[in-house]
Structure 1
Amino acid sequence: MDPCRIRSKSGRGDRTVLLRISRIKMLTDARTLNSGSSHQADVCIIGGGAAGITMAMELLNSDLRVLLLESGGTESDAATQALAQGESIGAPVTSLDNPVSLDQTRLRYLGGTTNHWAGFCRPLSPIDFETRDHLLVSGWPLDYADMVPYWDRATEWVRISDGDFSVDTWERRLGVSAPPIDTFAVEPLAFQITFPTKFGDVYGADLRAAANIEVLLHANAVNLAGDDGQTVTHVDVATLSGVSFSVAARAYVLAAGGIENARLLLASTDNDPAGLGNSNDLVGRYFSEHLQIYAGFGVLEPDFNDVSGLRGGEVAITQGRHAGHVHGAKFALGLTDAHLRSTATTGVELQFLPGRLPDGVPLQEQGIAVGEISALMAHTGPEPGTAVYLQALAEQELNPQSRVMLGTSTDALGMRQVQLDWQYTTADRRRVIAGLRVMAEAIGAADWGRVQLVLGGVHADAHDHMVSGEFLSIFRSVPDEIDLSGFPVGVGFHHMCTTRMADSAAEGVVDPDCRMHEVDNLWVAGSSVFATGGTATPTMSIVALSIRLADHLQDLRRDFADGAISGCP
């Protein structure tokens, strides 16, 4: 077929997108290709994680030829994983009290970070899409309602029951109770949990059998090449074995993760030393995480068995592709949107890890000890039934100084490694403390229990065995280390907002269709396009936005097929 021009529905003029129909069927090891060879597709997807695989599956059996480039193979290998190494020069990057390196936070093999995903699913909240005047940067160029149908469709790919996250529904389905706290400021939340759902394992057979999709494994995109900085002409690809080749496509989708998306754009300097699509110096800025804090401990009035909703239950999917698959669900507490609006603050969620108290003696062999909860006992019933460890997950305010950059060191392919300057502020800490106090007061006012906030004084001994099977026993409290101004802040491996979505190039890197503002035929998928991070774990929204982007590319194809574009047969 001949090239034709397809007009963007966002009114941004004509964009050349050549669409060709052909049949292929394979997962190919790129190390077996000839160096210097050229490969063509209608859509080239860079990255085989949640975003890239979702897009490929949505385009499965379409009349678009799709080529997906994946850095690794079907299993992890040390040499490929080393390509994710980099330098952290900002706030410490830690998890479970332990420092983590950048290559530990992301995985370079088919399935990407779904290979270590804990499976928590929940959509963003309406307030995440709103402009909040007290924040430096806020709001999405989409409405909450725009995303609802895509979250509903995402439930199939992440393997959960449906898009209903109402607490009443999940109390009924699980046969357990949520925390009995529902006030203006604090409400119970329901999560669906799909663990493990490794996209490479779950969808690998479909990709292998697809008539219109080819997956190139061990294929590392090292440069987005172009002649004028406004159009990508091809992707330069290299393998660790020394093979190099190019891929030319009509549409390119960058789906390599919140750090690697920014890295590849910054490293693509054919036309501008600042990188591709970066004339406003926004690529890599606003890097954000979900702040994870060991918050404290407490005792709850109900018996251990009566708070099973905090531990979670299981249900089976009843219909669709994954009918019969069993997944989990559990409850937590969060600040309401109404509270966030009225107090000019940011979101905080509180999760509970309950442990059984031995009859008559509120004592753990390890972890929370009687001396640490005795002060709480006077404010509960004569014999509380459950001890809990509290972990908070909080929203980070977007900060332009928190960013992904390129360092001076290079990896085995000669590509400059990442330099991450993660920065959160004292205001983020103050909001975490304020939100936790509101929730602690609500727990007490409901006579559900009493909690003690010990920010900075809780540690996780994850390497130790659990006592009597109680997960709670791996945590210990050190009250002398309480530090409200400098308590440790961990990460969730949630890399967001580095190519954030906005209506204009002055405010963001991609437009509401996830197309680069400054590059005609390049789209970006994944959490890097999030306009704000909220508090919901990101994978479900990553998948939803990827479905939406696949629909957009399909719409362009249908315009072509229907002859709606002048000059097309």
Structure 2
Amino acid sequence: MKCASRGLSAVVLESGSSEGASRKETGLGAVEIVTPHHAAAELIRAQGIGGTSRLWGGRCVALDDIDFERRDHVPFSGWPIPHAEIAAYYDEALTFLGCGASAGMWPDEPSKAGGDIDTAMLERWSAAPDIRRLHGASLRASPNVRIYADRTVAGIRLNAEGERATALTVKSRSGHSVEVEAKSFVLAAGGLENARLLLAAQRDWPQKFGGPDGPLGRFYCGHLTGYLAAVRFKDQSFARDLWYKRNRNGSHLRRRLALSHHAQLEHRLLNAAFWLDSFSVADPAHGSGALSLLYVGLSMLGLHPRLGSGMAPSPTEPQSRSYGLHLSNVRSDPKLITGMLHVLSQLVRNRLGQKMFALFNPGNRHLLRYHAEQAPNPDSRVQLGEWQVGSPPGLRVDFRIHPQDIESVVRSHEILDSWLQEQGIGRLDFLADPEDRSQIVLNQALDGYHQIGLTRMSEDPTDGVVDRDCRVHGTANLFVAGSSVFPTAGQANPTLPAVALALKLGDFLCKLP
């Protein structure tokens, strides 16, 4: 869209339908996953206009300056560009993603700040995360955009010297094959498919993309996420600083807690962020008489499934035992009436039965969700699998979790706990004893959605696949878009910076002769 708005002619080749994204895959090669920590292929890919935005929850978070630095304690870290080059496009990316520009959003700082924890970080939520619905009409109306659906890119043709892409081999659903020529080519198929196409081309050009033992398809990383603790606040003030707010355009935003730049370097930790989640109303561990009374009442009427179980794990107590604990919460809550009025106001405001983000707990106890960086690891990789004539090559996914990833998550929680107590805010209630915490984090480790690092950006062609402009090293007119070019993952969900980087790439393409 950026190129088309500047007068360039753009052709979009979409493997799926023009009617919207679908998880029903056609034309793509098989994916063999050899690790328990990677989600199944059908859960992480969606074909069709708009792609995986159909699966996207709408969360938008900026990267941090430290993510771009070379850190001694993080192997293979550092970007060839500063954060400022991407940050310059954040406002445009937020608008494109349906969040509205960031100016004027939530100017007040929280009541506590400083030290090992950064409290100023914002996450914004798109009011319209389905990109096809948001921008489909504009795409169809543009005289400079041509969309060909049900067309799968099967290969990349290079010139005799291997210095330029000359065409893409494209197959229709019926199996008919054509060559599509262009001035410039951009692979924007998601990390796994970007890597598959380049790995397939490398079979014909073994020394391209860093060679057979080079960086292509390696350094596969994402984020560790899950629950290791709950937060017990002394009062509601700081918790409310971290809770959801509604923006003027109807989208939501809230604050995250994160390890500060100083803390990461001093304690030699990977980046990590934390946010509040609701306990299921069915789980008496929330400690709120108001939520317990709500659950018991709705349960008796058979209506509690309409409220859902929130974003948190379901309770493990038998229902008979659970009712007793709920009634204990009700009896021991000195602010039961006030809390109940607050809960009811949330339900009315969010219109019971429609999508709700979460219920704020008047009992001052919330689950703590972590979202943590993985260190780049060259042994975490994808490779081509079986290749049958007439079909795309298979892909073998070996997505690895390193002990450093696990240890950093556990230590980050300990630092946050100390900070909460030092600031007089509250404390963490860990969900496991110290000797079991690493295993709890490992058991929850699962990604494959963010697909970072497979075509990483670098200054030196031996260290990465694309240069600072997302151009494939040694190939003048072949580019890659998406989070697969990120050298490191940071703590942020990758959608916002990936779109910002795509907008930056669009500007670069428009300036080419």
TM bin (shorter chain): 0.7 to 0.9
Separation of aligned partners in 2, 1:84 and 1:111: 20
CA deviation after TM superposition for structure 1 residue 431, in Å:
0.8
User: Following superposition of structure 1 onto structure 2, how do residues 331-346 of structure 1 map, counting pairs within 5 Å?
Assistant: 331-346=255-270
Secondary structure, counterpart of 2:100 in structure 1: coil
Q: Give the 5 Å matches for 1:168-183.
A: 169-170=105-106, 172=108, 178=110, 180-183=111-114
Residues 63 and 337 of structure 1: CA distance in aligned 2, closer, same or farther (over 3 Å): same
- 1:196 corresponds in structure 2 to 128
1:257 equivalent in structure 2: 190
TM-superposed CA distance for 1:297, in Å, is 2.2
The 1:353/1:492 distance shift into structure 2, 3 A limit, reads: farther
8 Å contact 2:46–2:54 — kept in the other structure?
yes
Question: Aligned to 1:444, which of 415, 421, 426?
Answer: 421
Report the TM-score when normalising by structure 2: 0.80
Deviations 1:102-131 (A, max 9, x none): 221121111111111111112110101111
State the distance in 1 between where 2:256 and 2:448 align.
17
Rounded Cα–Cα distance in structure 2 between residues aligned with 1:213 and 1:530: 27
1:537 corresponds to which of 449, 470, 493: 493
Alignment gaps of 5+ in structure 2: 280-285, 297-313, 336-361
Pick 1 or 2: higher relative contact order, CA cutoff 8 A, min separation 6: 2
Match for residue 67 of structure 1? Answer: 11
1:344-380 residue CA offsets vs partner (Å, 9 max, x unmatched) = 2111111211357443898987638899x99xx9xxx
Match for residue 295 of structure 1? Answer: 228
Matched to 1:340, the amino acid is Q
- Is 1:418 the counterpart of 2:395? The answer is yes
Written as runs of structure 1 = structure 2, the 5 A alignment for 1:95-106 is 100-106=39-45
Q: Are residue 187 (structure 1) and residue 111 (structure 2) matched?
A: no
1:29 corresponding residue in structure 2? none
CA displacement at 1:449 relative to structure 2: 2.6
> What is residue 218 of structure 1 aligned with on the other side?
150
Q: Distance in 1 between the 2:153 and 2:290 partners?
A: 62
Against the structure 1 CA distance between its residues 69 and 549, is the aligned structure 2 distance closer, same or farther, given a 3 Å change threshold?
Answer: same
1:121-170 superposed Cα distances (whole Å, 9 cap, x missing partner): 121101011111122201111112222211232122112232459xxx52
Partner Cα distance (2:436, 2:487) in 1: 39
Alignment of 1:52-201 (within 5 A): 57-73=1-17, 74-77=19-22, 79-80=24-25, 83=28, 85-93=30-38, 100-163=39-102, 169-170=105-106, 172=108, 178=110, 180-188=111-119, 189-201=121-133
Number of residues of Structure 1 aligned to a counterpart in Structure 2: 450
Q: Which residue of 2 aligns with 1:18?
A: none
- Cα shift readout 1:313-332 (whole Å, capped 9, x = no counterpart): 2112xxxxxxxx42110122
Q: In 1, are the aligned partners of 2:99 and 2:124 still within 8 Å (CA)? A: yes
Change (3 A) 1:62 1:298: closer
Q: Distance in 2 between matches of 1:272 and 1:59?
A: 30
Further displaced range: 435-444 or 496-505? 435-444
Give the Cα–Cα distance (whole angstroms) in 1 for the partners of residues 134 and 242 of structure 2. 28
Amino acid at match of 2:400: Q
Report how far residue 78 of structure 1 moved. Answer: 5.8
Checking the alignment, whether the CA contact within 8 Å between 1:293 and 1:455 is kept in structure 2 is no
Asked whether the equivalents of residues 232 and 429 of structure 2 are also in contact (C-alpha less than 8 Å), the reply is no
2:283 equivalent in structure 1? none
2:214 is aligned to 281
Q: How far apart, in 2, do the equivalents of 1:85 and 1:309 lie?
A: 46
The Cα shift of 1:197 comes to 1.7
Contact 1:455–1:483 (8 Å) recurs in 2: no
1:232 aligns with 2:165: yes
Deviation at 1:291, TM superposition (A): 1.0
CA contact 1:455–1:487 (8 Å) conserved in 2: no
The whole-number CA distance in structure 2 between the counterparts of 1:159 and 1:484 is: 36
Q: 1:513 Cα shift?
A: 0.9
Quick check: 1:427 aligned with 2:404? yes
Counterpart contact for 2:238–2:425, Cα < 8 Å = no
2:54 match: secondary structure: helix
* More strand per residue: 1
Deviation (angstroms), 1:393: 0.6
1:392 is paired with a residue whose SS is strand
Question: Contact 2:186–2:479 (CA<8 Å) still a contact in 1?
Answer: yes
How many Å separate the matches in 2 of 1:482 and 1:276? 36
Query: Equivalent residue of 2:417, what SS?
Result: helix
How far 1:269 sits from its partner (Å)? Answer: 4.7
Matched to 2:495, the amino acid is: T
In 2, the alpha carbon distance for the partners of 1:78 and 1:280 equals: 33
What's the CA shift for 1:532?
A: 1.1
State the alpha-carbon separation in 1 of the partners of residues 234 and 441 from structure 2.
Answer: 31
Q: Distance in 2 between matches of 1:382 and 1:278?
A: 68
Corresponding residue number in structure 2 for 1:207:
139
Structure 2 CA distance, aligned partners of 1:455 and 1:537? 26
Range moving further from structure 2, 144-153 or 330-339: 144-153
Q: Corresponding residue for 1:475? A: none
Q: Which amino acid aligns with 1:406?
A: L
Q: Equivalent residue of 2:428, what SS?
A: strand
1:253, distance to aligned residue in structure 2 (A) = 0.7
Separation (CA, whole Å) in 2 of partners of 1:342 and 1:410? 51
Partners of 1:80 and 1:362 in 2: how far apart?
44
Counterpart of 1:48? none
TM-aligned CA deviation for residue 338 of structure 1: 1.4
Aligned partner of 2:348 in structure 1 is none
* Aligned CA distance change for structure 1 residues 248 and 301 (closer, same or farther; 3 Å): same
- Structure 1 unaligned regions, length at least 5: 1-56, 94-99, 317-324, 458-478, 558-569
Residues 277, 519 of structure 1: 8 Å contact kept = no
Matched with 1:359 is 289
Matched residue, 1:453: 430
CA distance in structure 1 between the aligned counterparts of 2:291 and 2:215, rounded to whole angstroms: 57
Name the CA shift for 1:454/1:260 in 2 (closer, same or farther; >3 Å): same
Contact kept, 8 Å, 2:77 with 2:488, in 1: the verdict is yes
Aligned CA distance change for structure 1 residues 262 and 361 (closer, same or farther; 3 Å):
closer
What's the offset of the Cα at 1:417? 1.9
Tell me the equivalent position of 1:472: none
1:537, distance to aligned residue in structure 2 (A): 0.9
> Are 2:27 and 2:152, in contact at CA under 8 Å, matched by a contact in 1?
no
User: Residues 63 and 497 of structure 2 are in contact (CA less than 8 Å); yes or no, is this contact kept in structure 1?
Assistant: yes
Q: Structure 2 counterpart of 1:191, which letter?
A: E
Residues 69, 220 of structure 1: 8 Å contact kept: yes
- 1:91 deviates by 4.5
Between the aligned partners of 1:159 and 1:435, the Cα distance in structure 2 is: 32
Q: CA deviation at 1:92?
A: 2.2
Structure 1, residues 47-67: CA drift from partner, whole Å, max 9, x if none? xxxxxxxxxx11124332111
- Aligned pair 1:515/2:471, yes or no? yes
